[in-house]
Structure 1
Amino acid sequence: MNDTALEQDIYLFHEGNLRYSYQLLGAHRDRQNGEEGIRFGVWAPNAEQVSVVGPFNDWDGRKHRMERVNDEGLWFAFIPEVDKGMIYKYEILTPHGHLRLKADPYAFSSELRPDTASKVYPLDDYEWKDKEWMKDRQSRNIYESPISIYEVHLGSWKYIEPEVFYNFREYADMLIPYVKEMGYTHIELLPIMEHPFDRSWGYQITGYFAVTSRYGTPDDFKYFVDQCHQQGIGVILDWVPGHFCKDEHGLRRFDGEALYEYANPSKAEKTQWGTLTFDFARNEVQSFLISNAIYWLKEYHLDGLRVDAVASMLYLDFGKEDGEWELNEYGGRENLEAVSFIKKMNEAIFEEVPNCLMMAEESTSWPLVSSPTYIGGLGFNYKWNMGWMNDMLKYMETDPIHRKYHHNLITFSLFYAFSENFVLPISHDEVVHGKKSLLNKMPGDYWQKFANLRAFLAYMYAHPGKKLLFMGGEFGQFDEWKDLEDLDWELLDYDSHAATKRYMEQLHLLYREMPSLWELDHKEEGFFWIDAQNYEQSIVSFVRNGRTSQDQVIVVCNFTPEVYHDYKVGVPKQGSYKEVFSSDAEHFGGSGQINGVGLDTVPVPWQGQDQHITMTIPPLGVSFLKRTSANKEEDHEE
């Protein structure tokens, strides 16, 4: 890096506008005075002295002291004898005269826990082979494409033994064929940044730029993503910019003072989680976080980030009691600095990685989360639909006898379904800490639990919005998620679980082959009710539209165990309809109450439509119907 470029990067870093600060700071191969070595850089404005220490100097801070290059606290050092794989830390002399050993905030790799040193690991040794995927991604319309996400915690998907995990390359060999077989379009990984405590699931981070050593090296993770792309699978990563853990070797009071966190404890403390909030107003922290998002998207070719706990960033009183927080300058509870940062972050990300996915886990009714910043939005392009998730799980947990009293829970989401670009999430948070597994939430006997699960999943895939399902749900895991054990794969030896897995495979096939189920996900013309009012029988019916008249599907859902023969359903077009998918088919474990012959329309108005069909409504079942032929007059008109 020449002096002019270095000065420019330093200026942008302190302005909060250096989008690639990980190229300035951290440990990088360099050549100085004819010698090959590693250049180290760190931001520690309050430090009296900073040294690089490790086995190469017997952890002696007197041997490789860093040079402070400006008043804003950037320190650099060049060490010839250090190369890839060497471990190191920064020894920091605080303003109070204490020596602290800190991991590098910009390290690309770390020691395996419980050890905490950073590792030198240049990122330019891997040769990518996903050019076709990356090229196609540039022109892909993500809004009008099928997106079905398999959410995975690698360490408990499969492991060698408790606390001993497979390598990313081994997971690639096992997980990718499974995801392809199931029919998902994307894998979403719980955070794989370096974290000290397994049971934080990666959400309490110490190394924001470091791939966790639990599963291998940065190159191993690149291989995993590369293989996903070559097999047609996108990769989304959970990302946690809202808070960080307090472990001594991490970011907390990095140079002896509050640096990455707010100095004001009422803003810094996340008492609910025992973590610290980033100081979103500090320019260098903005450069750190924005660079971190871009780093994962660019260096690892990721297709998107799911941004964790956005509400905790937006609200000063999130998870706090009265007296534990302070109003903003306008007397409100919004964290105005965080709002400004989020907008700036998203603007930067979409300029650098235009067609990526930025998905907000935002649990409140904050407006325009997935709208551009130029119209006042936060700038994400997707938002998790937590309202739909809460309503539907509450409804499905209700005994079918009482569901008629809660009918609004399955219809209310359509009042706001097009106010944001939504993902329908059934995530890890809903199947842990005593909440029961998705299957075990379902009421009824053994057969009814599986039938309820199939009906719920069919309704989910028919409802507007992209889809996300946590691992284990696809084959009906009976126990809730056990984060210290792997999934109960032995359940697939039992017919009902094997049939549920087969059901999800076929549901995904249907989903991907029917543009009406995803092409107009975010537009009102993609959906209309046929009948949303039949609360007495807990039956709803609706139409999903694609861009052409042929891409239309009628969906009929029955959330009771009653069978109804000769049931009238209004349809928008004349002709003959075929049941192309039924959650009650016998090979899925259903009762076999299917409509095996064509359903011809009767020219008598019903449910607001000009004609209707008469069909069998299966128990706890969902039917997908497509028109297969029309009368001659309509054929001529079309």
Structure 2
Amino acid sequence: MEKNQFGVWSIRLPDSGGNPAIPHNSRVKFRFQHRDGVWVDRIPAWIKYATVDPTRFGAPYDGVYWDPPPAERYQFMYPRPPNPKAPRIYEAHVGMSSSEPRINSYREFADEILPRIRANNYNTVQLMAVMEHSYYASFGYHVTNFFAASSRSGTPEDLKYLIDKAHSLGLRVLMDIVHSHASNNVTDGLNGFDVGQSSQESYFHNGDRGYHKSWDSRLFNYANWEVLRFLLSNLQWWLEEFRFDGFRFDGVTSMLYHHHGINMAFTGNYNEYFSEATDVDAVVYLMLANTLIHNILPDATVIAEDVSGMPGLGRPVSEGGTGFDYRLAMAIPDKWIDYLKNKSDEDWSMKEISSSLTNRRYTEKCIAYAESHDQAIVGDKTIAFLLMDEEMYSGMSCLTEPSPTVERGLALHKMVHFITMALGGEGYLNFMGNEYGHPEWIDFPREGNGWSYEKCRRQWNLVDAEHLRYQFMNAFDRAMNFLDDKFSFLESTKQIVSSADEEDKVIVFERGDLVFVFNFHPENTYDGYKVGCDLPGKYRVALDSDAREFGGHGRVGHDVDHFTSPEGIPGVPETNFNNRPNSFKVLSPPRTCVVYYRAEESEESNSADLVDLDKISAAEVVGKQESFEAAAPVEDGNPITSKVKGLEAEEKAKIKDLGAEKIGEADIE
């Protein structure tokens, strides 16, 4: 063996008779001797594939030499989609994406789930649990083999198929990458290579500094040159070998500080960010990582998960920032959970809601979300479950009138997610299943539940059933994305909250040239409600949560022209209505949100233009790349809901083709 300048030992094995010395798909181990003379077997740190013997319960993973012959290697066929100016992200876990109680495969996810994501007009998929992790219930966050794709769902070639299929549908793919810590497994994890040597010869810090007490995992020593080489090459591997389009960095707060954010309540004081508690080595690593990523793929999307609010995290390295493109707006879901658990509807503060949604660092872009996988794990509740609880089992049939609980739940589910999207950031994220209010929590198979997969799956049959109300939440989610697709309001820097009325329980704001009116009052309908706007002209309804297509009552007229009136003295903003130079009047029903667009031309030509959205082909939805020319009909004068209706028809045809079963309510128990 040879030792290089970095202290890394290597050996080259020549081919034997024209064949590789180690055949493809061979199980391999690395044997070395401790300083105390004990020999140990380990999985190579850079292994590209690892599997477990299915006949041995609780057996450690084995490394597999993965070097398929050319005929068996997946060849990418489709180019990467361009980087969207505003990512609309669908967070997904491949393993739990099946409707059956089992682990789903990469290819099944590609063929059956990606078309659903595309049909709802998301432009980005964020994949969890990609790197190999021996403990399934860790949700993929206790990584054992950093260069290996999780073998539970298939081979590396299968994962490449998934990513290529996503690209063919116009979907970018981000990887939820874990460089903040590692599994403490010794036999099949990276932890087994640290055997008492000095800190400069270890992947992890020595002693207590190298152990995360809350996560029961090991912590990297980012000052170690070999650790930097290992982690940076890991990023390059996933970008180039698998063609991921970027990353969501997990646990960034733990990396930024020596205290890892444990028992810390960040107040925004800059002494909390820049002090001896800051892990400078980790910050430098993140700067190097973002520089490398954008050198390899200039239009990569890189997102930071940080709860501390570290300044400059979302600014370029050239400006002294850490280099992330976006940061997750992590305070937003906490606010919604607090409201839904602890406040009656009458106590909701419009000013606090609008302030929480707009409270982000200037010039640092955020990905807003009302809930993610964090809010869906066992012991917690999704927003739909917080709103409707046990009535999701018995009250979701369209064949009966909804109970007050279900009616409130459907209305607020739409409003909470939409105002989060429209006001909370420059991008939006939704976790798999929450778009249609998936019931119950996620519970991975474990000893405590008898190793059951029953609650570690997604019940797509609920949203596919025409007689259940889950379809309405899904249709509205689709319409939200189409609204941004047409008007590009998420990328607009124009964001003005003109009114947050505590008595009326109404929030009015502008994003781009759209006017949003959210009436959170549980009872009051406001006829002739005056809303301020910037531009004069004629306004019409672009999206209405009370439309019957979304399970509403259809109280808002979509063919009504709303003409503006000038307000105050021109050039004197303080004389305007809510600091807006123009206003128009609307009908605002309770627990309803309505979006208005400015119609610059005649209604006929404008509607025709709005309906001409990018069409989702029926062929795409069943996994073929063909064109589809039929446009959705315009109904009731509302271009967005009309387009959604057309897409729903396509989706239902696709489900029928796939042979999906439609079940009754009793089947979800």
Q: Indicate whether the TM-score tops 0.5.
A: yes
Equivalent residue of 1:214, what SS? helix
CA distance in 1 between partners of 2:99 and 2:517 (Å): 41
Q: Contact between 1:582 and 1:594, CA under 8 Å: does it hold in 2?
A: yes
Identify which of 129, 151, 154 aligns with 2:76: 129
* Structure 2 letter corresponding to 1:128: Q
1-structure distance, mates of 2:432, 2:98: 11
- Decide whether aligned partners of structure 1 residues 375 and 319 sit closer, same or farther in structure 2, where only a CA change above 3 A counts: closer
Q: TM-score, normalised by structure 2?
A: 0.76
Is residue 544 of structure 1 aligned with residue 511 of structure 2? yes
The answer to whether the aligner puts 1:245 opposite 2:183 as a matched pair is yes
1:622 to partner: Cα distance: 1.1
Match of 2:96, SS state, is helix
Q: Does residue 616 of structure 1 match 2:579? A: no
Superposition deviation, residue 537 in structure 1:
1.9
Indicate if the aligned counterparts of 1:93 and 1:255 stay in contact, CA closer than 8 A: no
Work out whether 1:629 is the aligned partner of 2:600.
Answer: yes
What residue number does 2:86 align with? 146
Aligned counterparts of 2:134 and 2:555: Cα–Cα separation in 1: 52
Structure 1: stretches of 5+ with no match in the other structure: 1-5, 15-20, 39-79, 546-551, 632-638
- Which residue, out of 493, 496, 501, partners 2:469? 496
Is the 1:107–1:207 Cα contact (8 Å) retained in structure 2?
yes
- Distance in 2 (CA, whole Å) between partners of 1:106 and 1:442 is 46
Alpha-carbon shift at residue 35 of structure 1 (Å): 4.6
1:103 and 2:43 are equivalent in the alignment: yes
Q: Distance in 2 between matches of 1:369 and 1:471?
A: 27
Q: Which runs of 5+ in 2 are unaligned?
A: 54-58, 265-270, 389-403, 445-452, 569-576, 603-669
- Residue identity matched to 2:254: S
The structure-2 alpha-carbon separation of the partners of 1:195 and 1:115, relative to structure 1 and needing over 3 Å to count, comes to: same
**Aligned pair 1:458/2:458, yes or no?**
no
Kept in 1, the 8 Å contact 2:314–2:327? The answer is: yes
- Structure 1 position 554, deviation (Å): 0.7
C-alpha deviations, 1:334-367, integer Å up to 9, x for none? 1121112111222122112221111110111211
Counterpart CA distance in 2 for 1:252 and 1:153 is: 25
CA contact (8 A) 1:91 1:101 kept: yes
The equivalent of 1:475 in structure 2 is: 436
Q: 1:555 to 1:283 in 2, by over 3 A?
A: same
Counterpart CA distance in 2 for 1:216 and 1:487 is 19
CA contact (8 A) 2:327 2:364 kept: yes
Q: What SS does the corresponding residue of 1:407 show, helix, strand or coil?
A: helix
| Shift in Å, 1:461 | 2.5
Matched pairs, number: 544
- Do residues 506 (structure 1) and 446 (structure 2) align? no
Q: CA deviation at 1:565?
A: 1.2
- Three-state SS of the structure 1 residue aligned to 2:95 is helix
CA distance in 1, matches of 2:17, 2:228: 34
Using the alignment, how far apart are the partners of 2:333 and 2:175 within structure 1?
21
Q: For residues 588 and 396 of structure 1, what CA distance do their matches in structure 2 show?
A: 22
Distance 2:419 2:179 in 1: 33
In the alignment, is residue 356 of structure 1 matched against residue 294 of structure 2?
no
CA distance in 2, matches of 1:182, 1:541: 26
- Contact 2:42–2:192 under 8 Å retained in 1: no
2:536 is aligned, of 571, 574, 591, to 574
CA distance in 2, matches of 1:457, 1:91: 52
In 2, Cα distance between equivalents of 1:625 and 1:321? 44
Aligned to 1:254: 193
**Contact 2:99 2:459 (8 Å CA) reproduced:** no
Q: State the Cα distance separating 1:396 from its structure 2 match.
A: 4.8
Give the aligned residue type for 1:500. M
For 1:564 and 1:224, the matched residues in 2 are separated by 49
Equivalent residue for 1:527, pick from 485, 495, 508: 495
Cα drift, residue 187 of structure 1: 1.1
| SS of alignment partner, residue 156 of structure 1 | coil
- Map 1:303-318 to 2 at 5 A: 303-318=245-260
Aligned with residue 266 of structure 1, among 199, 208, 227: 208
Deviates more, 1:169-178 or 1:487-496: 487-496
Whether the aligned pair in 2 keeps the contact of 1:187 and 1:233 (CA below 8 Å) is yes
Distance apart, 1:146 and its partner CA: 3.3
Q: Is the 8 A contact 1:112 1:212 kept in 2?
A: no
Look up the SS of the partner of 2:518 in the other structure.
strand
Out of 562, 571, 574, the residue aligned to residue 599 of structure 1 is: 562
Q: Tell me, yes or no, if structure 1 residue 232 matches structure 2 residue 170.
A: yes
CA drift at 1:629: 3.4
Assess, with a 3 A threshold, how the Cα gap between structure 1 residues 168 and 630 changes in structure 2: closer, same or farther.
closer
In the TM superposition, structure 1's runs of 4+ consecutive aligned residues that sit over 6 Å from their partners are: none
Q: What residue in structure 2 maps to residue 3 of structure 1?
A: none
Deviations 1:288-307 (A, max 9, x none): 00110111111100011110
Query: Partners in 2 of 1:474 and 1:25 — Cα distance?
Result: 49
Deviation sequence 1:40-81 (CA, Å, 0-9, x none): xxxxxxxxxxxxxxxxxxxxxxxxxxxxxxxxxxxxxxxx2x
| Counterpart residue type for residue 317 of structure 2 | T
C-alpha separation between the residues in 2 aligned to 1:25 and 1:424?
46
Query: Does structure 1 retain, via aligned residues, the 8 Å contact 2:74–2:161?
Result: no
Q: What corresponds to 1:434 in structure 2?
A: 379
Instruction: Please tell me whether the aligned partners of residues 437 and 479 of structure 1 are also in contact (alpha carbons under 8 angstroms).
Output: yes
- Residue 646 of structure 2 aligns with which residue? none
The yes-or-no answer on 1:449 pairing with 2:409 is yes
**Cα distance in 2 between the residues matched to 1:345 and 1:124:** 32
How far the C-alpha of 1:417 sits from its partner, in A, is 5.4
Report the Cα offset of residue 430 of structure 1. 1.6
Q: Structure 2 CA distance, aligned partners of 1:390 and 1:255?
A: 38
Alignment counterpart, residue 518 of structure 1, candidates 490, 495, 516: 490
> Structure 1 residues 407 and 487, CA, compared in 2 at 3 Å: closer, same or farther?
same
Partner of 1:557: 518
Q: What residue number does 1:374 align with?
A: 318
Report the alpha carbon displacement of residue 604 of structure 1 after superposing the two structures with TM. Answer: 4.0
Displacement of 1:378 after TM fit?
1.0
Q: Deviations over 1:161-201 (max 9, x none)?
A: 44xx2321122111111111121111111121111111001
Task: Determine helix, strand or coil for the equivalent of 2:190.
Answer: coil
**Cα displacement string for residues 479-507 of structure 1 (whole angstroms, at most 9, x for unaligned residues):** 12334421233422343211111221222
- Would you say the 8 A contact 2:546–2:554 is kept in 1? yes
Give yes or no for the alignment of 1:193 onto 2:131.
Answer: yes
Tell me the residue number matched to 1:69: none
Hey, what does 1:84 align to over in structure 2? 24
Residue 435 of structure 1 deviates from its aligned partner by 2.3
Corresponding position of 1:62: none
Contact 1:151 1:188 in 2 (8 A): yes
Whether the 8 Å CA contact 1:272–1:319 is kept in 2: the answer is no
Instruction: Measure how far apart 1:91 and its partner are.
Output: 1.2
SS in structure 2 of the partner of residue 557 of structure 1: strand
Q: Report % sequence identity.
A: 24
Secondary structure, in 3 states, of the residue corresponding to 1:380?
A: coil
TM-aligned CA deviation for residue 621 of structure 1: 1.4
Residue type of the partner of 1:518?
A: L
Higher-strand-fraction structure: 1
